[in-house]
Amino acid sequence: MLTGKKVVLGITGSIAAYKMAKVASMLVKQNCDVHVIMTESAAQFITPVTFETLTKNQCLTDTFERLTPVEIHHIVLGQTSDLILIAPASADVLGKMAYGIADDLLTSTVVAASCPVLIAPAMNAYMYQNPIVQENISRLKKFGYEFIAPVTGHLACDVTGIGKLAEESDLVNAVIKKLSGQKGAGNTRDLSGIQVLVTAGPTRESLDPVRFLTNHSTGKMGYAIAKRAKERGAKVTLVTGPVNLAALEGVNTVSVTTAEEMYQAVMERASNQDMIIKAAAVADYRPKQVNSEKTKKQDGTMVLELERTKDILAELGKRKGPKQCICGFSMETEHVLENSREKLAKKNADMIAANSIRESGAGFAGATNHLVLITQEKTEDIGMMSKEACADVLLDRLYEIWKQKQQGEAK
């Protein structure tokens, strides 16, 4: 999504500087041309060689270095880049920027910049809450600089409080939103009033009081979809299996455990939804018999008889209303597109979001995903990106289908 975009990462002296290696890598995977400027203090936490290896560009630290004999790089980068992301931003650099002090390469580049600048502070909680630091942040906001707020957590100084650098995926997502021109980016409320139901996470099917069958789903993709739908104005219901994720504020969350419980929760609410997005990894089979006591081990092998669970997506396809949009997910290990297109037709879905568990950076647990969005009309590979960015593109495409259905019904 960032093909042809040039981004400068400005890294300052904070222990969180090590996180920027992952940010640089994630941006490069989006075909972004990434250039890194480090302060002298930042180079004490992570070496410039790391970023040169990841970005294939020289990592800059010296104000008096030249890109060519005639080009001064703080002017060149400030004038030719599409965006500058300063992360982590220390209290020292915030103060310099607030008053136009340009005494090193990074601050000189910012002063010379004509592109948007995003700032992600990271520091000790007491430092961040200092009135002077807060006044500097307010002053920078008045000049048009945008901030990615730090989060609360356990800090390196052994203090728990606000000041922790935002997650790497959130930083990348902010860059994508700023540069990609997505209709769903930023504070757009294009889904206002639309009812959206999302399923997320795994299900668990008991063998006995101790053991159960499940899968590796963490729920991150489904939660990202629910979060972005809510932020874009939708009235969101999230039906979630057992996950280790923070509850989403403003989202009606229904917690379930088994495939049958998820089936019942979805079907009870399906008729009132405009969009249903099935991102959960629901068990296809469950034990035919659940032992009331712990199953004791014995000599030899044990045969476990399984029975099919109800197919939620297929049932939704059968009951789908003329104005309703249904999106399923298809995680495959082989023949991804062929299996997913078959699923689209068989389940009467409007869209299938396909991905391969074999691909590094896609699938379960990680902060990124690589989706291919399949409809009857086209197949769109949206590339590797953060799960929130994936969620935005998926919602964009589903919203387009939903609008067409409303217009068709009106005719």
Catalytic residues: 157
DSSP class of 169? H
What kind and span of H or E run contains 95?
Answer: helix 91-98
- Both structure tokens of 315: 């049932």
Task: Give the total residue count for the chain.
Answer: 411
The candidate with the shortest Cα–Cα distance to 12, out of 134, 106, 138, is 106
User: Do the bridges between strand 160-164 and strand 379-386 make them parallel or antiparallel, or are there none, so unpaired?
Assistant: unpaired
How do strand 146-147 and strand 117-121 relate by DSSP bridges?
parallel
| Location of structure tokens 């970023």 | 51
Q: Quick one: DSSP state of residue 104?
A: S
**Contact indicator for 330, 342 with CB cutoff of 8 Å:** no
Under DSSP, the state recorded for 256 is -
Helix (H) or strand (E) holding 199: strand 195-200
Chain-centre distance of CA 229, in angstroms? 13
Nearest to 149, CA basis, from 160, 139, 137, 157: 137
Q: C-alpha 66: how far from its chain's center?
A: 37
Residue 246: CB partners within 8 Å, gap ≥ 6?
none
Q: Which amino acid, one-letter code, is at 382?
A: I
With CA atoms as reference, report the closest residue to 87 among 179, 167, 2: 167
| Residues 6 or more apart whose Cβ sits within 8 Å of residue 80 | 6
Task: Provide the b/e sequence for 281-304 (b: ≥16 CB within 10 Å).
Answer: bbbeebbeeeeeeeeeeeeeeeee
The two three-digit tokens of residue 199, written as one number: 């399923």
Which residues on neighbouring strands pair with residue 60, listed in sequence order? 37
